[in-house]
Amino acid sequence: METSDIFDGLLQNLKVGDSSTTVASRRDEITKALNKDFRSKDSCTDYRLMVGSYGRHTAIKGISDLDIIFILPPEMRSNYDGDTGPRRVLNRVRDDLASRYPSTEVGVDQCVVRVRFTNSAFKFEVQPAFENSDGSFDYPDTVAEGWKLTKPREEISATRECNNRTSTNMRHLARMARAWRNANGVIMGGLLIDTLVHRFFSKTDAYDAAGTGSIDFMARDFFEYLKNEPDQDYYLALGSNQRVKVKARFQSKATKAYNRCLEAIENEGKAAANKKWREVFGTSVPLAASKASQAFKDTEQFIEDQYPVDIAESVTIDCEVTQDGWRPTKLREMLRTGALLKADKSLKFMVTACTVQRPYTLKWKVLNRGPEAERRDMVRGQILDSSTPNMLVERSDFKGDHVVDCYVVKHGIVVARDRVNVPVSNTSVRSASVS
């Protein structure tokens, strides 16, 4: 498959798609309900602004958070002065939307009113705000008990300008970076992604007119830029120069992505290139047509086919390795010290850290890789439930370099994921019965 075909397919598969019609309908309904109360206007869809990734047109398929600013009537500003003002205006918005959607979960969350629709995979975060003369907004914060400043129009404008200058490559790369985040569990918000993409294009004009046939090099250079970024607590957002928090280090995963880009480019035109691009950007990368028959059944399932993926939280898994007569050992410690994982070991994969608030559901995938797994027709790769709460129990069986994935599903969306490699010496991984 040609490079241009790979990335044409990737970018097409990342489009928000049909859900945009539903988003527009929900947006208008929310705005009408608020204008009816705050302005005594029926069926009025004015006085709102879509912000965030959707408003900057850098969102991808599977987006779960939709941000909308509802512009409050300026004559009401004095009504919401004082420490209680932020809470009162948010409560009023909450009550309006709860009345409009009586069977929907509606609640205040510090700066927004969250509307989580039960029949869709996305939620709206509605932020009431007063517009200032320069186009910025003052929004309520119930923790600070005051009003804070935001400048989304400047961020939207900076995105548009950069996108026009780079022949749409700014938005292409921003969407690809989101696909990388979701496929590899990178904890990075949408505004930080767009800011880093913007900074990347400010340092080079090599891709200002590049087509999809050169996107492989653009991706390589972007991840090289990311991996070499120094650790810092925040960046200044594109356009607004407001602080954007760095939630977690991204350099090590960017390094892995960079190396996979190098391997994919080296194998251009071969099926191996598609495989490497899928490791970077996930299942939105189209598969290469298979020319050879295979002796094993490809039973691998993909979480993206079962749930929307929108990574916003972190989860860490490890594995307790036990054998009769031996003290249990953690797999990550074995990998660190170079100890070999051999035959007939009991493997208990478990969550060791998770930032997602309960309740949530865990899903797992065990994928056996290598010639022995294929010869025995035991590639596996199905999406599994936990064997016991928060745990997956397996046993090592035959040789191969295998992986175990864990997915945290909250409100029907995969919000965190982690992977642990299981490099088994003369063994592999098979399911274990659990009493």
Paired strand residues for 421: 403
59 within a domain of the structure (yes/no) = yes
Do 307 and 407 lie in one domain? The reply is yes
Residue 6 lies in a domain: no
95, 117, 150 — which closes off a domain?
150
Q: Is residue 281 part of a domain?
A: no
Q: Bridge partners of 126?
A: 68, 113
> Which carries the bigger pLDDT value, residue 434 or residue 402?
402
pLDDT tens for residues 86-131?
999 999 999 999 999 999 999 999 999 999 987 777 899 999 999 9
Q: Are residues 318 and 377 in the same domain?
A: yes
Quick one: 337 and 237 in the same domain?
A: no
Choose one of 123, 150, 177: the last residue of a domain: 150
Number of domains in the chain: 3
Please give the Cα distance from 413 to 262 (Å, whole number): 32
Q: Is residue 368 within 8 Å of 347, Cβ to Cβ?
A: no
Residue 251, in any domain of the structure: yes
**Triad 44, 45, 49: Cα angle to 5°:** 145
Exposure class string for 71-88: b at 16+ Cβ within 10 A, else e = bbeeeeeeebeeeebbee
Q: Do residues 233 and 308 share a domain?
A: no
Q: What is the mean pLDDT of residues 126-152?
A: 97
Lowest mean pLDDT: which of 63-67, 175-179, 204-208? 63-67
> 125-134, 300-309, 384-393, 403-412: which has the minimum mean pLDDT?
384-393
Residue 178 pLDDT greater than 50, yes or no = yes
Residues 298, 246 within the same domain: no
Tens-place pLDDT, residues 221-255: 999 999 999 999 999 999 999 999 999 999 999 99
How do residues 294-326 score in pLDDT, each as one tens digit?
A: 655 677 899 999 999 999 999 999 988 886 656
Same domain, 19 and 141: yes
Give a yes or no: residue 245 inside a domain. Answer: yes
More confident residue, 293 or 187: 187
Domain presence at residue 228: yes
Q: Does 5 reside within a domain?
A: no
Q: Answer whether residue 22 is part of any domain.
A: yes
Q: Which domain holds residue 131?
A: 13-150
- Give the pLDDT confidence of 412-429 residue by residue, as tens digits: 999 999 998 876 554 444
39-48 confidence digits (pLDDT tens): 999 999 999 9
Please tell me whether residues 417 and 332 are part of one structural domain. Answer: yes
CATH code of the domain covering residue 118: 3.30.460.90
Percentage of residues in the chain having pLDDT higher than 90 = 70
Mean pLDDT of 276-300: 79
Same domain for 171 and 101 = no
Residues 204, 242, single domain; the answer is yes
Q: Which of 266, 286, 307 is the last residue of a domain?
A: 266
Residue 233 confidence (pLDDT): 97
